[in-house]
Chain A
Amino acid sequence: MALGTWVDFGRLDDLGQLDTAAHRIDARAKAFTTLAFIVTVMSFARHEVSALTPYVLYPITLMSLGRIPAGYLFRKVLVAAPFALAIAIFNPCFDRQPAAAIGTFTISGGWLSFASIMVRFALTVSAALVLVACTGMHRLCAGLEWLGLPRVFAMQLLFVHRYLFVIAAEGARMMRSLQLRAASPYRLSLHVYGALVGSLLLRSMDRAGRIYGAMLARGFDGNIRVLNRQAWRWSDAAFAAGWCLFFVVARMWNLADAVGRLLPTGGAS
């Protein structure tokens, strides 16, 4: 069940139900701020690493306000890391121009952009995860729709989320019956695995269809409605405005360098 516990989407949903300072911030404010965060982080030059570091403040603040366990978040980011690695790994091979030096040690541009991609990946993925964990998918989709995301996409997002659970649950059930019957599930032939994946897909589609039927049976007409939509408060506006200001300032000035120069011991360069 190693995969099950690593993926563990259910935990994300449970966290979304907590009631903390971070959860009480309006979904629209959080969604907007996180979007601004991602856009800013992505807009940096490709060799930039140090200027990105102050941005870690945003996910960390939201995470501690929302009482999201750091270890949980870290594992989730690791699960997705191979995708970023696959993109970043080619940079050091193609770009061998020296771009920076630490003492007598020179670093090629390729390695810098490799580091930059990995840092950006960690920042954006953790910010998105924290957003979901301290908002809840349903409220988040309603918030995104309000922000102007076309309804079709908001619904797609909601269903993809819901069906991920379905597939994970069906997968867990199949693994259980497999473990009961096979001495070691890791020694099965490719043929058996193929059959398993096919049947997982069919079962998931069946179940997804029935869940959609249950939604229709209870009057779902394509509009996502949310009970107690929070009223927009001044603190929500302040949250969004405050962070956006920070993102802009950190984009224009390299705060990490500035802090380094202010510190008395940091005068090496």
Chain B
Amino acid sequence: MNTPALAVRDLSFAYPDGTEALRRVSFQIPRGAAVALVGANGAGKSTLLLHLNGYLMPRHGEVSIANTTLTPATASIVRRAVGMVFQDPDDQLFMPTVFEDVAFGPLHAGLPPADVERAATDALQRVGMLHLRARPPHKLSAGEKRAVAIATALAMAPDVLVLDEPTSNLDPRGRRRLIDLLRSFDHSRIIATHDLELVVEVCTHVLVLDGGQIVAEGPVAVILNDEPLMLAHGLERPHILRHHHPH
């Protein structure tokens, strides 16, 4: 059967100060697909992503991963299946060395030490950061931090990867490396971003969020080529689509 990797139904959320950040959001991510979540600053992207692993617990509406609906009781199962990469890597890296940080997830999943070592080594290798294993994370460059943050999520062998603005603050080379890396994954992915070239290269589908609502969704070529739509929601049509012919 084709259960979606991730399904969100009628999700609404307001912050304690009354800001309505999400209004009846619904969408699905097919298994193995990469979906972009675009929208201006303050559109609610981060808020939405924080619901996907129960950092914010859904109260109005529902989030399910594979066949598990997210509730306080299932949160630990869901967290193991969802690899979350925060917007700011400094929020994500909290251990004294890169290796211990990447090993934190597998270790707390209760794996035996040999498996923990292997999971952490593999994940660091996957993002090309194994040579930094003994360094303290707070002393890395922005690009290195981001790659290590992704490794911390990969090490848990998640089914779904959730990334919040993964290319922000990166220089062109770091950004290029990251795009290639994201493209090489076969996890189901949801990526919040302003980087429309990343969307074109990595994703197949786009969700457009504005004022906490999904205002459009569809294949990348269709949505990003719709100039009036993009402009209406504080975005622009990416240059590469102007020069290449969309598939």
Contacts and interface: CB of A to CB of B under 8 A. Distances in A.
Contacts of B136: 10, 13-14, 17
B105 A219 contact: yes
Interface centre among A14, A165, A214, A215 (most CB of B within 10 A): A214
Interface magnitude class on chain B = 20 to 34
Contacts of B167: none
Interface string A160-184: 0010010001000000000000000
A211 to B, nearest CB: 5
A219 B116 contact: no
Contact of B105 (A136, A138, A162, A218): A218
Nearest to A219: B108
A137 to B, nearest CB: 8
Contact of A17 (B53, B76, B91, B97): B97
Given A211-B91, A217-B84, A17 B96 contact: yes
A223 interface: yes
A213 interface: yes
Contact of A214 (B91, B96, B109, B117): B91
A9 to B, nearest CB: 11
Contacts of B86: 210, 213-214
Interface string B92-103: 101111001001
B31 interface: no
Contacts of A169: 90, 138
B61 interface: no
Contact of A227 (B84, B90, B94, B103): B103
A225 B108 CA distance: 7
B138 A138 contact: no
Interface magnitude class on chain A = 20 to 34
Given A210-B86, A227-B116, A216 B96 contact: no
Contacts of B79: 216-219
B113 A207 contact: no
B94 A211 contact: yes
A31 to B, nearest CB: 17
A49 to B, nearest CB: 38
Interface in A132-179: 136-138, 162, 165, 169
Nearest to A222: B108
A218 B103 contact: no
Interface string A182-199: 000000000000000000
Given A17-B136, A217-B79, A227 B107 contact: yes
B213 interface: no
Given A207-B91, A227-B103, A10 B138 contact: yes
B36 interface: no
Nearest to B96: A13
6 pairs of A and B residues whose beta carbons are closest in the complex:
A218-B105, A219-B108, A210-B91, A213-B55, A217-B84, A214-B92
Given A17-B97, A211-B92, 11 more contacts: A10-B136, A14-B136, A207-B91, A210-B91, A211-B94, A213-B50, A216-B55, A218-B156, A220-B108, A227-B117, A228-B113
Interface of A: 10, 13-14, 16-17, 136-138, 162, 165, 169, 207, 210-211, 213-221, 223, 225, 227-228
21 contacts: A10-B136, A13-B96, A14-B136, A17-B134, A137-B96, A169-B90, A211-B92, A211-B94, A214-B86, A217-B53, A217-B79, A218-B79, A218-B105, A219-B105, A220-B104, A223-B108, A227-B100, A227-B103, A227-B107, A227-B113, A227-B116
